[in-house]
């Protein structure tokens, strides 16, 4: 009697598992190639992404809320710390300003008592750097002011941080400035802390200058600020020049080795200031060539 229940065949027909895997891989590769070349699945991908967007936002909303809340508290704490720091700085600057005003008034009273003349303010001209040297070992630059603007050789060049160098060559509409880092550009200075006089020499390197010929017992320390002494008649007194960063008092050298870094932006910025120096001789004005008398030849009769 035949059974109504379907019997499972003992030897199933059809491709095996390995063949099916290969077929599925080929179909996947074909779909990838077609999608990359013809973009046939972009619309389907867009529909799926649009449908899943609310779910993604819902899943990310707790994390976004946590970040907003934590960021608010962190920013609030940082603003409180910054506000407290600014208040402390304001109080410190206010106290320093009061002391500065008091010292200024005291200095004015002492000058009046001694009959000393007040220091004249610096007269400067704003100039732009138009050319840098092609030679990396030449510490000079060219500015866009010359004799037509009243610039003279020997005038100091500064920026808002300190001394840069000195005008060494002047042309009608440009000038050449030799920086203090040049090997042939010494600058008479003094230690701002105690008035010790010295001379700064360049190394030919943009970031280093040396103080030479100081004895080992000289009162100079790391961190001291060097300013122009004004004894040479070229640089006005009190211009910041460099800061001491290293001292070598070894007995192997006849003099103390003092390494400094320039305070002025010798290798930065684009604008500089040329300081007028009334002590320098004025450049001779070009004189017109007198007309030559015309020579008349005797006419032959």
Structural domain boundaries in the chain:
20-108, 124-275
pLDDT band at 290 (very low <50, low <70, confident <90, very high): very low
Q: Mapping DSSP to helix (H, G, I), strand (E, B) and coil, where does residue 236 land?
A: coil
pLDDT at 116: 52
**Interior/surface letters 152-178, b for 16+ CB within 10 angstroms, e for the rest:** bebbbbbbeebbbbbbbebeeebbbbb
Opening angle at CA 68, ends 65 and 73, nearest 5: 130
Share of the chain above pLDDT 70, in %: 82
**Which residues are 188's β-sheet partners?**
199
Q: How far apart are CA 127 and CA 174, in angstroms?
A: 10
Q: How far apart are CA 105 and CA 16, in angstroms?
A: 104
What does the mean pLDDT of the chain come to? 80
pLDDT at 12: 59
Summarize pLDDT for 158-197 with one digit per residue, the tens.
988 889 999 999 999 999 999 999 888 899 999 999 999 9
Summarize pLDDT for 195-253 with one digit per residue, the tens.
999 999 998 876 899 999 999 999 999 999 999 998 888 898 889 999 999 999 888 88
pLDDT at 301: 38
pTM: 0.56
Opening angle at CA 60, ends 55 and 65, nearest 5: 135
| Residue 194 near residue 296, CB atoms below 8 Å | no
Closest CA to 201 of 132, 260, 264: 260
Highest CATH level, class, for 124-275: mainly beta
Q: Mapping DSSP to helix (H, G, I), strand (E, B) and coil, where does residue 161 land?
A: coil
pLDDT at 250: 86
């Amino acid at each position: 009697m035949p059974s109504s229940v379907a019997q499972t065949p003992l030897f199933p027909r059809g491709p095996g598992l390995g063949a099916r895997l290969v077929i599925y891989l080929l179909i996947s590769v074909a779909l990838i190639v077609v999608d990359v070349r013809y973009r046939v699945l972009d619309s389907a991908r867009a529909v799926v992404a649009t449908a899943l967007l609310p779910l993604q936002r819902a899943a990310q909303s707790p994390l976004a809320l946590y970040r907003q809340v934590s960021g608010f508290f962190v920013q609030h704490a940082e603003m409180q710390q910054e506000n407290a720091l600014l208040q402390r700085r304001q109080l410190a600057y206010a106290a320093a300003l009061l002391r500065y005003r008091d010292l200024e008034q005291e200095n004015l009273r002492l000058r009046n008592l001694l009959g000393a003349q007040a220091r004249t303010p610096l007269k400067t001209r704003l100039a732009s750097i138009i050319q840098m040297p092609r030679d990396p070992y030449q510490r000079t630059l060219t500015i866009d002011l010359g004799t037509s603007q009243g610039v003279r050789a020997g005038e100091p060049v500064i920026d808002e941080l300190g001394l840069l160098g000195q005008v060494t060559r002047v042309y009608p509409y440009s000038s050449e400035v030799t920086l203090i880092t040049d090997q042939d550009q010494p600058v008479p200075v003094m230690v701002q802390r105690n008035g010790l006089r010295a001379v700064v020499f360049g190394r030919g390197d943009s970031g280093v200058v040396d103080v030479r010929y100081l004895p080992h017992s000289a009162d100079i320390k790391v961190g001291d600020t060097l300013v122009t002494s004004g004894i040479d008649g070229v640089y006005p007194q009190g211009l910041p020049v460099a800061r001491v960063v290293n001292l070598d008092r070894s007995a192997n050298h006849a003099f103390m080795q003092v390494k400094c870094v320039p305070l002025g932006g010798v290798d930065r910025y684009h604008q500089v200031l040329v300081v007028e120096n009334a002590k320098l001789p004025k450049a001779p004005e070009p004189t017109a060539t007198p007309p030559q008398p015309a020579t008349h030849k005797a006419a032959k009769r």
